[in-house]
Amino acid sequence: MSDSTNQKLVVAISSRALFDLEDSHRVFEKEGVDAYCRYQIEHENEVLDTGVAFPLVQKLLRLNRLDHERDRVEVILISRNSADTGLRIFNSIQHYDLHISRAAFTGGISPYRYVRPFNAHLFLSADPLDVRSALDAGFAAATILPSNVGMNESDELRIAFDGDAVLFADEAERVFKNGGLDAFTASEVAAAKKPLPGGPFKGVLGALHRIQSEFPSDNAPIRTALFTARSAPAHERVIRTLRAWEIRIDEAVFLGGMDKGEFLRTFGADIFFDDQRDHCDSARQHVPTGHVPHGVTNE
């Protein structure tokens, strides 16, 4: 069978990010694997409630309905469940009419190893250890944090990113940590015309850009945004970096250290990715949020 996943945006997602599995996860933590397996089998005909990343997945898959020429996105399930206990998950996928056909069930061990052979651009999970393992292996990955915010009702898919240690490498963040704001500002002004190295999510932004490029700029189904703690004069290097990459970003907000939450709510992000946990804890009160445990802040 031929495969064209390398031509799509491919997102690998864990079952706990896609569905609300907290009840069964508590059984696992309190009573162990055997009790968990019995619980899932006994409840396999009960549809799972949706999880934090479910609306994002719906919008991603909706991009495939824009025309009948080809699929632009594929979502793949990779899960610590066994195939036996995973039947409830596939039953729920069918109930919600999600077009997810590929999956890996790893029977209790970390599933991140399957990110590479599935050619996934992004791995979303509720397990921080799996996410860190994926990042260490060179993949874009984020821990989906608990959040009770509702779905953004816009038809657009809106994805927001932090800059340093997410879209860009963490070299500037290391200068800030070691030398403070003055040293950071001086370094960024001196290097203003030198593009920043790419961070773990550069490829994700590039894949989104390729989809956007198929549509008129004023009628694209995806809108991207950068929300960064940077401010002038450290903004110039960011702008020149994106220009050098030839990657479009629709909105850029330079906050100069202000809290990001209200700005993200205003943008209407379907997901926001940030490397700093305190920023994520603020953001998840407003929008679905993925923590990217990468870079000097997470060492």
- At position 98, the amino acid (one-letter code) is L
> Do the bridges between strand 103-105 and strand 73-79 make them parallel or antiparallel, or are there none, so unpaired?
parallel
- HSE at residue 114, side-chain half, CA atoms within 13 A, is 18
Task: Please confirm, yes or no, whether 162 is among the known catalytic residues.
Answer: yes
CA distance 8 to 63: 11
Interhelix angle 33-42/22-31, nearest 10 degrees = 150
Note whether 126 and 189 are within 8 A (CB).
no
Neighbour-count burial of 171, counting CB atoms closer than 10 A to its CB (0-12 exposed, 13-18 middle, 19+ buried): middle
- Of 130, 162, 270, 275, the catalytic one is 162
Note whether 13 and 130 are within 8 A (CB).
no
> Do the bridges between strand 251-254 and strand 222-228 make them parallel or antiparallel, or are there none, so unpaired?
parallel
From residue 81, alpha-carbon distances to 15, 27, 37, 159, 284 in Å are 8, 14, 9, 29, 27
CA 82 to chain centre: 24
On the question of a cis peptide bond just before residue 233, with omega within 30 degrees of 0, the verdict is yes
Residue 251 host element (H or E) = strand 251-254
Calculated CA dihedral for residues 29, 32, 34, 37, nearest 10 degrees: 10
Q: Which residues are catalytic?
A: 162
